Structure 1
Amino acid sequence: MRKVTSKKLTATLISSIGLIGISGIAMATFKANDNMAIAQNTAQITAQKTLLNFPKYQITVNSNQDGEIQPDRELTLREAIAIANGTLTLEQLSEAERNQVKPQLIARLEGSRIGFNLPSDRTTIKLRKALPDISSPYLTIDGTTQAGYDANSSFAQELAIPQPIVEITPDDGVEIFRGLTIVADDVTIRGLSIYGFNAIESVPTTTPSADIFISHQAPPPDTTQQQQPAKFSPFYDSNRPPQGVRLEANWLGITPTGKMPKQPSSFGVYLFNSTDTLIRRNRIAYHEGSGIVTSVKATGTQILENAITSNGFDGMPHGIYLEGEIANLRIKGNILCANDGSGVYLFKPKGAIAIEDNRILFNDRSTNYAAIYLMGNDHRVTNNQISNQRGAGVAIAAYPKSDRNLIRKNTFSALKGLSIDLISQRHVNTRDFITGDGINRLRDSHFRRVDTANGAINAPTFLAATFPMFTADKVNIDGNADPDTEIDLYRVTGKIDPNLPYGSLSEYLTTVKTDANGKFSASLSNLEVGDTISAIATDPQYGTSEPAFNARIVNPDLSAPELAKVDATIPACTTPPQVVQAPPPPEVIVLSVPRQIHFALDRDAISPTSAKILDRIADVLKQYPTIMITLAGHTDPRASDTYNRELGFRRSRAVRNYLMRQGIASERMTVRSLGETQRASQGNQVTDYARDRRVEIEFTDVRDVEIRFESQQEDLQLE
């Protein structure tokens, strides 16, 4: 199998001429013409009329085979979709196949339903070619009908997402770029495992690839049949986006056993052109690109209670990537964990969204992205738990100008950046526009309003670095901020670096308001001596500020206890239904395991000898679930710095992906590249260069116990 590169994944964002003829990334804005508006307003009537042209059947798939449509003894998924679409009639079926199709006698607005009755040992449908587009409105494809499906089970305690039984994947050696393509209204896909769909060299890279792809129907291939789209519109009048699609309880990019497939999918759900899509209680994992992607239009999308983990390891690195028209999109109740970039990343969107009640943790596994990266105006980020990020919690872009973004009542912990970072145009480094640029100074001119996110609203400043607690149950807090703003006060907990003036906003305490002069005060009874506090300010006209510098609660004599040590926790995106406690290890873990593997010249492939070494490392990681590792890729010096840095990343990612396939959770691994900057030796012999070409593995136990390990050179690969 050829490996899809990040360049190829980026190219899939550009729509093919057969679909639309414009680039979803390049299109910052567009105006819908009057005909499109009328079509959207009458969508329900149109759908009802369209539904009358389709048959309504209860169809049962009883064969996992795939191939050409033909009358035989069993009904395949390909044939079931063709029947629902109206392109395969009952007269074309054998008698045995017709027995699997029953009339759907319903009074309400509903379409055909496809269920499954597969033999228990043949529940994997291996496709020989792409399935037909789903063009039948109100069609339901329901994997929960398969015998043995347990709707009351779940792979994790945090979310109710049962394990599917029916799986859809390309056949061995077959490359297919999409699993299900939906071009009709109110289609429901439920209870399926869909994985292994990828864009490769034999498929045009401008064609978006995904497990599930949602868009209007492609226009006729003969361009003479098409009218030109109206001015300012990328669509033809007939390019109406599907409405009301529902994706529920599916596992996308991941097998029913929970393992990473040999051939990962490019993307999970690709919303190219859609409205009011519901993506609820799906497990979306192990994609080379993002788990969910929007492109041209995805207004009204609801992304609810999904587990979106371990995506973006070979391209667009985010859990959810949003661009185009996304007004009224909501992301609520999800777990966004161990994705290589941000949990949620917005790129020049049109419309405001809400991000609320999510757990966003252990992302940016190979970069320093913020947990949430916002572009645009009027977004709301509330009540999220954001933790364990090497970048900021929420970063807001300075370009394009982004204002009135409200970031309130979230909890942050274990961040290396600010909880909220308003990026300034004065900082032009690429990383500043991804992870945040650090603390802003107080606004010193009107021009700061236009060169910094959220109108450069000032962070609050406390009147003192310490506040004495004179009574047993109350302490008075005073400070300044912009006039007529609301001040959210927070307790700062977790590991606090005494060398930094800020900490993570860990626990919301209360809200007070500043007066016309910008002064605020509060009398708090929910603090103790030794606590650390911070605050943020919010003005609806400008948005939410960065955090205030920390202040501490002290005794009347200004003394305070030392900062408490933090109890270590085992990193995990989700908790299995039954938790097995590992036995306590000795105080010093002596690992009889290598700390590096080596590579051939200009290669990132893992040799058979290196694979055996990684198997030993995987066994150790399974034995000690509190150990986390950092994988640092190295090269020899015989190429440019830029090339060697990328080669180092490819090598460290290759090791991470191998260990993931051995069952090691991606949230326990961080990948980075040092290129040629830290050679193993300074010689210029082939043996010296062979030692340079390596991935170094750094072991860290979250309980701060000592780890000893050994070096090895048995897998050196000479030129």
Structure 2
Amino acid sequence: MYKNNRKNPFDKLNLAKRLLTSLPVLLLTAPNIAFAQQNTALSLSVTVNSNQDGVIQADGNLTLREAIAIVNGNLSLEQLSAAEKSLVSSTGNQAEIKFNLLPAQTKITLESVLPPLTTPGLIVDGTSQPGYDANKSATAEIEIPIPVVEITSAADKEVFRGLTVAADDITIQGLSIYGFTSKHRDTASLPPGDIVVVDSNMSQIPPTPLEKGGNSTPFLRGSQPPKNVTVENNWLGITSEEQVPEKTSAFGVSVFNATSTNISRNLIANHEGSGIITGKLAENTQVEQNIIVGNGIAGVPDAIRLEGQIDNSQVTSNLICANDGSGVYLFKPEGSVQIQSNNIKYNGRRLRRAGVYLMGNNHQVLNNQITNQPGTGVAITAYPDSKGNIVRNNSFANIEGLSIDLNYRNTASVRDFQRGDGPNPPRNSGNRRLDSANGAINAPEFLSSEFIVIDGKVNIDGKADPGSEIDIYKVVPSSKQQIDLYPAYSALGQVIGRVQTDEKGRFKATFTDLQPGEMISAIATLSKYGTSEPAANSMIKSVGNSQLFQNPQPLNEIPNCTTRPVTPPPVIPEPTPEPIRLSVPRNVHFALDKDFISSKSGEILDKIAVVMEQYPNIVIELQGHTDSRASNAYNQDLAKRRATNARNYLVKKGIASERMIIRSFGERKLRTEENNRVDYARNRRVEVLFFDVRGIDIEFENQEGDLQIER
């Protein structure tokens, strides 16, 4: 343990000389071990046996801060105690930081930002901690082992980064990292988050003397962006007990200036901003087999936000669920990205965005499942001049917009561009190529709204842009919201055929497995321009059947991101549940011009949390409202903040974010006519709408116990 009254063993003048010297190697007193200067790989294995943090000093324990200083070449063996020296050995291979913490002391609480990792080839290995079980996972969808070692910030400190990577070939694995954010720094130049990958010029600002427990190294001029960094099998933004931390991190992984970063098999949850975000340079970033859940709760809302130079990056086989914005959001990127084989569902919980939102050229969106989205499946913006984006072989269900929406420049509001602006009119001139995403490639048109089954066969024909390839889809039943918005369009379900148009743009296909009552749609793809919006639905009918078919409503499903990896028991049909009635409050109130939850409102939300815990089939919609004072725009934002805070309160109580959705009405739905202060107070509220996916009736009670009347 640290002894703060102990004399500091370091000579400051000699320390400064040692940090700035250009000597290639420092020889140490221990045999067969040599410490290289910073940015030179050290073949050392250092074991952390203390969860404390603070001033670096020679004592009986070796901390994570000291371990980083040792492998960086900034703390020599001769400056360690005998007990600490025993925790350092030569590996003959590559540098590593291992852990051997006491079972009850596996949480490392940081007082300040750690020194950046500047030794190429270093492994920070949480899997080395006794008790780590590589075969034990909390999730069945993607098995990510439960970490034992946690790294977080002190409750009374603002530590804006967990681990900072500033060298090549560094691996971080098997850790739980959370609680790193900044509310008072210029985050544009100082990216905060659990793990930040930057060049060494950005790794610390400003440098703090080593003997004061600071960042230990000065600025490094002319440094190169690190490459081949690996972040795998970590839990970011969530404790090892699977709890939402009291202090949430700004971002999970921030690739601010690096190439060939590999982010794989991590559980990334509960961040104020995106789970993964890129900055200046992030070429060849590989995001693969991660679970990214419940991010964007207080800032950038998208699960994965890619910007900057991101050419040749891939987002593959991830589970992206219940984040507050889009699943994948590309903002003014340089280069192209492939988004493939991801399960993207229940996103847009706070901001109603497309499941995948694209800017730029030549991106590929292939073989993804995009479901339960309050917006378009894939939206492609017209700004900048986005072309050549291929969207094929994806499956959509229960979305509120089109499966693929090419934005039109004349509909330039934020809402239209983030959610999609609906079906485009047919292109009628060459100038329209400049007006819409993907060069305004026309959607296919079936030559009939109905096709007849004759002798078990259905002959389909239609038209599209000449030379385009047509994917014909069987569509899935529309959600009520999609029917209300676009009654002629349903979500693209499964590709059932692919044909080529002729020189006049005509296409034909014959099917033997289509049944009366089913509906089809189609998309067109030209490599030069990209993929089109879907065709309006066409119905499959039988001979002599004049019945007008309607889209049936889809079966409601319980919102669920992950499940436990258990052996499934024998399937036993569940009996139809008997209707029950619940008595539960459905609104909380707010003070004038305030969005925080009062203690009495907290008691109301506690009751709601109890009901949701007792009945896991219940989902809720949180509708934010204001009184009629102030502008429409201000009230719209205030209502959203109220609903967001109510949602975040319930998340802290353990209610899964995928069971809640946010809507803001501002002053549009007043409860009273506002004849007095009590009426005003009744309008300042968040209404909670309860739904049971099994159709069980729910009885509500009106309550005003938390009414906050202004003076």
TM-score after normalising by structure 1? 0.88
Q: Which amino acid aligns with 1:197?
A: F
Q: Could you say if the C-alpha distance between residues 121 and 456 of structure 1 is closer, same or farther in structure 2, counting changes exceeding 3 Å?
A: same
**Matched residue, 1:228:** none
**Matched residue, 1:155:** 138
Q: Could you say if the C-alpha distance between residues 685 and 628 of structure 1 is closer, same or farther in structure 2, counting changes exceeding 3 Å?
A: same
**Matched residue, 1:253:** 237
Q: Could you say if the C-alpha distance between residues 131 and 606 of structure 1 is closer, same or farther in structure 2, counting changes exceeding 3 Å?
A: same
Alpha carbons 1:51, 1:137 under 8 Å: kept: no
**Matched residue, 1:529:** 516
How big is the alpha-carbon RMSD for the aligned residues of Structure 1 and Structure 2? 2.2
**Matched residue, 2:622:** 631
Q: Which amino acid aligns with 1:116?
A: F
1:491 and 2:474 matched: yes
- Structure 1 residue aligned with 2:127, among 105, 130, 144? 144
Give the match's secondary structure for 1:618.
helix
Give the match's secondary structure for 1:655.
helix
**Matched residue, 1:31:** none
1:366 and 2:353 matched: no
- Partner Cα separation in structure 2 for residue 423 and residue 584 of structure 1: 47
Give the match's secondary structure for 1:606.
coil
Shift of 1:205: 7.1
**More displaced stretch, 173-182 vs 578-587:** 578-587
- Partner Cα separation in structure 2 for residue 326 and residue 221 of structure 1: 25
- Structure 1 residue aligned with 2:556, among 568, 576, 593? 568
**Matched residue, 1:664:** 655
Give the match's secondary structure for 1:275.
coil
Q: Which amino acid aligns with 2:528?
A: Q
**Matched residue, 1:21:** none
Identity across matched positions, percent: 50
Q: Where do 5+ consecutive residues of structure 2 fail to align?
A: 1-35, 208-218
**Matched residue, 1:96:** 83
1:124 and 2:107 matched: yes
Give the match's secondary structure for 1:96.
helix
1:110-163 CA-partner distances (Å, limit 9, x unpaired) = x31111111111111011111111111111001111111111122211102111
1:577 and 2:560 matched: no
- Partner Cα separation in structure 2 for residue 336 and residue 431 of structure 1: 22
Alpha carbons 1:50, 1:137 under 8 Å: kept: no
- Partner Cα separation in structure 1 for residue 362 and residue 531 of structure 2: 11
1:520 and 2:507 matched: yes
1:341 and 2:325 matched: yes
1:640 and 2:631 matched: yes
Query: Where do residues 423-502 of structure 1 align in structure 2 (5 Å cutoff)?
Result: 423-472=407-456, 474-495=457-478, 500-502=487-489
Q: Which amino acid aligns with 1:510?
A: G
Q: Could you say if the C-alpha distance between residues 582 and 644 of structure 1 is closer, same or farther in structure 2, counting changes exceeding 3 Å?
A: farther
Shift of 1:261: 0.9
**More displaced stretch, 663-672 vs 275-284:** 663-672
Give the match's secondary structure for 2:581.
strand
- Partner Cα separation in structure 1 for residue 250 and residue 194 of structure 2: 8
Give the match's secondary structure for 1:588.
coil
1:210 and 2:212 matched: no
Alpha carbons 2:591, 2:681 under 8 Å: kept: yes
Alpha carbons 1:253, 1:268 under 8 Å: kept: yes
**Matched residue, 2:56:** 69
- Partner Cα separation in structure 2 for residue 432 and residue 458 of structure 1: 19
Give the match's secondary structure for 1:208.
coil
Give the match's secondary structure for 1:455.
helix
- Partner Cα separation in structure 2 for residue 318 and residue 247 of structure 1: 20
Q: Which amino acid aligns with 2:87?
A: Q
1:175-197 CA-partner distances (Å, limit 9, x unpaired) = 11111111111110001111111
Query: Where do residues 228-243 of structure 1 align in structure 2 (5 Å cutoff)?
Result: 238-243=222-227
Alpha carbons 1:598, 1:716 under 8 Å: kept: yes
Q: Could you say if the C-alpha distance between residues 614 and 467 of structure 1 is closer, same or farther in structure 2, counting changes exceeding 3 Å?
A: same
**More displaced stretch, 297-306 vs 363-372:** 363-372
1:651 and 2:651 matched: no
Q: Could you say if the C-alpha distance between residues 53 and 205 of structure 1 is closer, same or farther in structure 2, counting changes exceeding 3 Å?
A: closer
- Partner Cα separation in structure 1 for residue 580 and residue 359 of structure 2: 45
**Matched residue, 1:135:** 118
- Partner Cα separation in structure 1 for residue 468 and residue 313 of structure 2: 27
Q: Which amino acid aligns with 1:132?
A: P
- Structure 2 residue aligned with 1:331, among 292, 305, 315? 315
TM-score after normalising by structure 2? 0.89
Shift of 1:245: 0.4
Q: Which amino acid aligns with 1:407?
A: V
Q: Which amino acid aligns with 1:680?
A: R
Alpha carbons 1:373, 1:434 under 8 Å: kept: yes
1:668-699 CA-partner distances (Å, limit 9, x unpaired) = 11112212222221124222222122110011
Q: Which amino acid aligns with 2:401?
A: G
Give the match's secondary structure for 1:678.
coil
**Matched residue, 1:686:** 677
**Matched residue, 2:5:** none
Give the match's secondary structure for 1:642.
helix
Alpha carbons 2:39, 2:119 under 8 Å: kept: no
1:608 and 2:591 matched: no
Alpha carbons 1:272, 1:298 under 8 Å: kept: yes
- Partner Cα separation in structure 2 for residue 180 and residue 435 of structure 1: 35
Give the match's secondary structure for 2:379.
strand
Q: Where do 5+ consecutive residues of structure 1 fail to align?
A: 1-48, 224-234
- Partner Cα separation in structure 1 for residue 404 and residue 298 of structure 2: 28
**Matched residue, 1:420:** 404
Shift of 1:349: 0.5
Q: Which amino acid aligns with 2:564?
A: P
Query: Where do residues 582-601 of structure 1 align in structure 2 (5 Å cutoff)?
Result: 586-601=577-592
Give the match's secondary structure for 1:572.
coil
**Matched residue, 2:9:** none
Q: Which amino acid aligns with 1:113?
A: E
1:485-521 CA-partner distances (Å, limit 9, x unpaired) = 1100111113366661110001111211111111111
How many residue pairs align between the two structures? 655
Alpha carbons 1:699, 1:707 under 8 Å: kept: yes
- Partner Cα separation in structure 2 for residue 602 and residue 112 of structure 1: 55
1:298 and 2:285 matched: no
- Structure 1 residue aligned with 2:708, among 689, 696, 717? 717
- Partner Cα separation in structure 2 for residue 711 and residue 62 of structure 1: 56
Q: Which amino acid aligns with 2:141?
A: E
Alpha carbons 1:296, 1:324 under 8 Å: kept: yes
Q: Give runs of ≥4 in structure 1 deviating > 6 Å.
A: 49-52, 202-205, 219-223, 579-585
**More displaced stretch, 211-220 vs 59-68:** 211-220
- Partner Cα separation in structure 2 for residue 664 and residue 251 of structure 1: 19
Q: Which amino acid aligns with 2:557?
A: T
**More displaced stretch, 389-398 vs 683-692:** 683-692
Give the match's secondary structure for 1:322.
strand
Q: Which amino acid aligns with 2:320?
A: L
1:187 and 2:170 matched: yes
Shift of 1:64: 0.7
Alpha carbons 2:371, 2:399 under 8 Å: kept: yes
Shift of 1:538: 0.3
- Partner Cα separation in structure 2 for residue 203 and residue 478 of structure 1: 58
